[in-house]
Structures are given as structure tokens and as C-alpha cells.
Structure 1
Amino acid sequence: MDWQAIRDEEFPVAGRWAYLDHAAIAPIPRRAGDAMRAWIAEQEANGCIHWMTWRNELEVVRRRAAALIHAEPAEVAFITSTTMGIGLVAEGFPWNDGDNLVTAAEEYPSNLFPWMNLSSRGVETRLVRSRDGRLWLEDLLEAMDGRTRLLAISHVEFASGFRNDLDRLTELCHERGVALFVDAIQGLGPLTIDVRKTPIDFLAADGHKWLLGPEGAGLLFVRKDWIDRLRPILVGSNSATSSYNDPEPAFTLRSDAGRWEGGCYNMAGLLGFGKSLELILDVGADRVSARILDRAEGVRERARSAGWRVVGSDRPGDRSGIVVLDRDGSDNDAVARRLRESGVAVSCRRKKLRVSPHLYNNDDDLDRLAEGLRAPS
């Protein structure tokens, strides 16, 4: 694979930045920007005259999103954020008073607050803390009992970069009759998910991180046998089989996940997202994953040589595209600002440096990071 050609053709951001912050907000590839600019030009010139052309293109995007995770297109709905996807599942799940769910204490707030918000409905959220830089299966299992209905987990934890074992979690949950929800926003891209081989029940991911899409365009996966069991939330004209133009529209819900697409689409965002998915699928999801993990390993090696400690589990199977760094006495917020001033983009999360490279980052980018890390804190 000619990674340099992809860098040159698709990522203008590389002309200025050693951009290593894809776990925050990724720059979009040129083909995604072209698609969004074309839609804007069309709207300026013609308004809604050719709207159906763009609407039909969304089904191409849906097929790409489904192909990425090996789902059926009917199991994929478009969402404007991971938070929206989590909320649709949290509020639509068939809870009973006294039920509980289990999740990680260190989760991003969007994978905590929607579940905690269920307390008024008599649903308890049980938080499990990590140990030694990772979550342990036995701790998650210990938190479950006969009233546990769901485990909500991130594929990759945003602050630590720890990768949860979805295969094992799926097996353990289904043995206990517990549904599995996966926040995949930090996993899809550096890692691959096949929902046929790993039969998780629900998955949500916005596209603006590792999938290289714009903000406000993402995917919700609802396994086929859950579509009729999950209460539809935010229903609208797109949720039903009848047309808004019918004299008396019938409230008959769609049989697929599109029933959760109630209102207007973020057309520009979804068209851009579709092109970002196209790039990933053109390269091959497995190749993209291997490349990102290779780049992350390069970050770890250079950081250690620069005197930094790689935080978190050191087991190869626990690693992801996120590399978390720390150094005794370091003001990591200041380090992140100083690196950005030098043209190296990283983040500071929960007082530690977070580095997240992607497929187009070359050795020069990683060397620029290493040079910045060697500077006194």
C-alpha cells in the first residue's frame, strides 16, 4: 500500500500539521470535502430541484456503513452523534422497574449520562472501575445479577486507550441473557468489528474521529431481532412506511432501523461521511487497522526513547490506536499547547497526554512528536 500517495492525495492537513489527534476530531479527506462542497454548490444553484438524487445517494452511504461492520443495511440508521445513538437505545430499551445495567466508571460522559438518566424509571446504573490500566471481565461479571439487562461498554476507552474484548464480552453477556451495547467511536478504524462473528446487540459511532468523517454524521446498528423490541424514539415522517404527501399518512413504522431517522438528514455531513467510508473500504478495513496500530506502536517507541511513560495495560491485545503518555512532574496541558504551537496536534485528557495517529501519518510526523516530547516540560 502506497501510504505516501494516500497522504498526498487525500490529506491536505499534512501540509502543515503532524496531526496526531484523531481520537478528538479528525481532518476529513479531500474526497469527503469535495462531496460536501458539491452539495453546497448544488443547493446554492438549484435549491431542492435535485434533492432525490442526493437522497438516493444516502442509501449508498448506508450500504458502506453496513459493509464496514458486516451488518445488513436494514440494521443501520443514520445518527447525528454517538450520544444520539446511545440515547435512542437507552430510552427505547424495554426496561422494568428494578432493572440494572453495568458500565465502566471511566466512560466518556455520553456513555454514562444517558444510562444514569434512567434512574427516574427505576433503572440502576452500576459502575465498574478499572484496575492496572484496564477493565477486568471478572469485575464486570461481579457487578451483574439476575436483574441486569444490559452492559454498555466502549470498544476502546477514550482516556486510557484500553481495548475491551468484544468477543468475550458478547459471549459472557449472552450466556446471562444480558444485551450488549457498544460505543464504537474510539474503536472503529484502529480496530475492526464484524457483527456477524461478534453478535453484539447495539452499536453507535459518530464518524468524526477514526472514520475521518465530518461531525454530525454517524451510524447506529440495531441487530435485526431487536428492531421491533426497542421502542422507537423521536419518530417522524421518515419513520413510517407512508408518505408525508399522503392525504392521511398511516402510522406504520418501517421494519428496518430507518424508523429511527425521524426528521431531516444532515445531507452534507452524510455525503461527506460516505466518502470517508469509501476511502476506508477502498484501502480495506483490515489494512487501515493494521496501519493505525503500527503508527501507534511507533508513537510508543519514540515516546519511551524521549523519556515518557506509556500509561495503561501493556498487553498487546489491550492496545488500540490511542497512546496515553505521562512523565513525572510534567504539566501535560502545557505540553499539548506547546506541541500544537510547533505544528504537532495531540490532546490532554484527564491530565495525561493522548496521541492518536492515523493511516496517513508518516515517520516524519512521529519524529516531530518525539522532538517535541524531548523538550523540557
Structure 2
Amino acid sequence: MPNPTPQEQMRVNPDFTYLNHASIGPLPKKSYDIIQGGFKLQMEEGERKIDYPAIEDLWGLLRNNGASLVGGDKAGIAITANTASGLHIVAEGLSSKYIQGSNIIIPDNEFVTNSYTWQQIANKYNIELRILPTVNGFVGIDIWEKQIDENTVLVSLSHVQSGNGFLYNLKEITDIAHSKGSLIVVDGIQGLGAVPFNAKKLDIDFIAAAAYKWMLGPLGKGLFYTKPEHIDLLDSILVGWFSTPNFRELYHQPFVPWEDARIYQQSMIDPTLNGFNASLETLLRWGVSETYFHIIHLQDYLINLISEIDGFTISSSLEKNERSGIVKINHKESESIVRYLETLQITVSYRAGGIRISPHRYNTKEDIDNLVEGIKSWVRKN
């Protein structure tokens, strides 16, 4: 029997055209079934069928799949709740390095999760938050070179800019940061699952990402990666039941933490873990590189069609090494167009003054045709 196609593995309402994975990605059918079954079991039988050895095996599978997705060592993978929880592992974990005169650097168009995290840290520890200006939606390499200095503790940026889809060359920025003794943390939520990533080759120190966008995972789950050698560098500010290999001992005892990133584990005993693992397995079977090429192919098809309609421009970079799963088109009435498309059951987003379109592996040219016909319909009415 042939393997099911990506379209067969998803169950998006066939009446919808869903091109909004940069917002929330639908769950694969298998992931949904597993999560639903797990909560049904909890509803009907409580703890009676919780299998702790099987749960521990699941952690191993999840961390293996997470390591494959980020291109890093399994020892550096922890399952978290979302992007913010991963960023805060780093933010508070580096508190001993926040001394007078030190600074943290972010671009000026970061999504608020990344921005708020470092605003809070800068205020709490009375250090400088250096916010770099963007031109055409990104910070140029010359600005990074000028602004990262020997007092920079950390550089934090999104791999993919959520408003326009710009894909940063992380290796260039990481090399600059490391040459000055700085660390780098990446908000990976708009890249992981849609853009090939290799933490080892990029020499990334930390990456944090929620599961519910391009990873097609459940809400309330995420991945965190650290270089294994940095685990001793980070003070662990939030530990709990599963932060130790002795988690089966339920009452007071000396705290002996895991020696790897499992010390940061959060919420490790609920049905969404199985669903998240099923989503990662689905992505890895599709292949992230193959998924990326499919998305770019759909974008090229869209761009050719949009170029024939007066009043629309492409504001995302079309340079080969700067493209991601997101493409943004601009029109003076972008917000009205997005609202109109929703009445036609075509889902995209209004972001940063434009129409943000974010297809995935299971989307087809027919979905793009529906979108373009919806836009043409708006033009005819206006």
C-alpha cells in the first residue's frame, strides 16, 4: 500500500483554502487522533493506564526527532511549552553575565515575544538593550558588525522575520557574535519545519520555538535547543518533577538534575506529547528540504500570477538565500483584501501593512489559484 500523500495526512476543511501556517498550523490527522485518544483515556480512567516507562521512551523519541529537525545533539534538546519558555531559559539562565556596561542586541522588528523578553531583562538587570534599525525589513550585515562588541552578552533574533519572511544568514551573524565573545539565541518559530536548519553547521548557541506553526504540532508544546556544553553555563531557574532522573521518587530527596537539557523539561506527562511526536515524524517523513522546495515552488507560481494584477507588489525578498515559507504582497487596501478573502473562506494574514501568505507541504497550486481568484474578485468589486 503506498504511503499517504501530504494532502491525505491532513484534514483541513475542504471548503477552506488555508494559507496561514505562519499563524497557526493545522494538526495532521494522526496527531489529532492520538491527542484525542489520550484525553479520552484521561477522562474515562484517570491515572490507571499511565505507563511511566512508555512515557520515558516517548521523551527519547521526541528528543531524537527534535534533534533531527534542528540538526543538533539530542543532549541539547528539551521539550518546553512555547517559544517564550525557551527564550526565558536563556534570558534568566545567563543572569550572572549581566554586569554594568553589558548589552543585549535585537532587531527593531522582532515579534513581541522576543522583544518583551529582552526588554524585561534589560530593565531587571539595568543593562543596555541595543535595538538595531532595519532597512527593507532586515538588519544588514554591516550593522551587525558595527553594533556587536566585546560587551555584548547575547544577540537574539528570529531566523525568519514574521512580518515579511526575510531569512537571515545566521552563520554570518553567529561568526561575528562569537568573534566578540557573544552568544546567540534564535527564535525559530517561523523557520523550523519549513526551512532546513542545522544548528551544528550554523554554530547556534540556543534556539527556541513553539510547535503550533510550521511544525504542525499542538498548542502548548515547543522545542528548546542548547549546545550541550552550555548547559553548565545556564542557571536553571525553573526545575520540577521531571528535571531529574529520579522523577519516580515522589517525596523529599536531594535534587540531582539531569546532566543534559532534560533539566529544562516542562509538562512531560500529557497526551499532546504523543501528538507532537506524531507531527514531528510526519514532517521528517516529508523531509524539510523537500517541504521548503515545494513551498518556494508555490510562491513562484503565486508571484507570477500576482505580477499580472495592477496595484500589487511583492515586499518579501526574492533572493535565493533570503526566502522562507512566508511571502508578503502589498496593496494600499491590504487589510480590506484580507477581510474580504476570509468571507470567501480563504485564510491569510494581514501583517506589517501587507498580505502575508504562508503555504505548507500539503498545499497545492489549486489553493494558490483560489487565492488569486479571490484577489481578482476583490479588484472587480472595487
TM-score by length of 2: 0.92
1:182-197 alignment runs, 5 A limit: 182-197=186-201
Question: Is the 8 Å Cα contact of residues 292 and 357 (structure 1) preserved in structure 2?
Answer: yes
1:223 to partner: Cα distance: 0.7
Q: Per-residue CA shift, 1:258-317, capped at 9, x if unaligned?
A: 11125x336222221111110111122221221122222222222222331001333221
- Shifted more, 168-177 versus 109-118: the winner is 168-177
Question: Which range moved further: 357-366 or 115-124?
Answer: 115-124
For residues 67 and 314 of structure 1, do their structure 2 counterparts lie closer, same or farther at Cα, with a shift above 3 Å needed? closer
Q: Is the 8 A contact 1:190 1:293 kept in 2?
A: no
Alpha-carbon offset, residue 14 of structure 1: 5.0
Are residue 341 (structure 1) and residue 322 (structure 2) matched?
A: no
Local SS of the residue matching 2:199? coil
Q: Please say if residues 3 and 359 of structure 1, whose CA atoms lie closer than 8 Å, have aligned partners that are also in contact.
A: no
Instruction: Give the letter aligned to residue 373 of structure 1.
Output: I
Contact 1:29-1:276 at 8 Å conserved across structures: yes
Counterpart of 2:6? 6
Q: In 2, Cα distance between the equivalents of 1:28 and 1:89?
A: 29
Report whether the alignment pairs 1:218 with 2:217. no
Question: What secondary structure sits across from 2:200 in the alignment?
Answer: coil
**Which residues of 2 match residues 90-101 of structure 1 at below 5 A?**
90-93=91-94, 94-97=96-99, 98-101=101-104
Match of 2:291 in 1: 288
Q: Distance in 2 between matches of 1:163 and 1:88?
A: 24
Q: How does 1:171-182 map to 2 (within 5 A)?
A: 171-182=175-186
C-alpha deviations, 1:131-188, integer Å up to 9, x for none? 1333201112222222011110100000111110012122222222111111010011
User: Does the CA-based 8 Å contact 1:201-1:223 persist in structure 2?
Assistant: yes
Matched ranges for 1:37-52 at <5 A: 37-51=36-50, 52=52
Asked if 1:161 corresponds to 2:165, the answer is yes
Specify the code of the residue in structure 1 equivalent to 2:12: V
CA contact (8 A) 2:78 2:261 kept: yes
Q: Which residue of structure 2 lines up, in the alignment, with residue 326 of structure 1?
A: 330
The answer (yes or no) to whether the contact 1:95–1:123 under 8 Å persists in 2 is: no
Q: Which residue of 2 aligns with 1:202?
A: 206
Aligned pairs for 1:295-314 (under 5 A) are: 295-307=298-310, 308-314=312-318
- State how far apart, in whole Å, the 1-side matches of 2:35 and 2:129 are: 40
Instruction: Give, in whole Å, the separation in 2 of the partners of 1:284 and 1:143.
Output: 37
**Structure 1, gaps ≥5 residues long:** none
Measured after TM superposition, the shift of residue 241 of structure 1 is: 3.6
| Pair 135,266 (structure 1): closer, same or farther in 2 beyond 3 Å | farther
Alpha-carbon contact 1:295-1:359 (below 8 Å) kept: no
| Distance of 2:313 and 2:269 partners within structure 1 | 42
Contact in 2 for aligned 1:295/1:358 (Cα 8 Å): no
- Separation (CA, whole Å) in 2 of partners of 1:205 and 1:301: 32
SS at match of 2:86: helix
Task: Name the structure 2 match of 1:354.
Answer: 356
Partner of residue 114 from structure 2, selected from 111, 116, 121: 111
Does residue 125 of structure 2 align to residue 140 of structure 1? no
Q: Number of residue pairs matched?
A: 372
| Counterpart position of 2:32 | 33
Unaligned runs of 5+ in 2: none
Call closer, same or farther: CA 1:158–1:252 in 2, change over 3 Å: same
Retained in 1: the 8 A contact 2:148–2:177?
no
Structure 1 position 368 matched with structure 2 position 363: no
Measured in 2, the distance between the counterparts of 1:269 and 1:174 equals 37
CA contact (8 A) 1:104 1:127 kept: yes
RMSD after superposition: 1.9
Runs of 4+ with deviation above 4 angstroms: none
**CA 1:356 to 1:371, structure 2 compared with 1: closer, same or farther past 3 Å?**
same
Q: Is 1:66 matched up with 2:70?
A: no
1:265 is matched with: 268
- TM-score w.r.t. the length of structure 1 is 0.93
Residue of structure 2 in register with 1:56 after alignment: 57
Secondary structure of 2:157's partner? strand
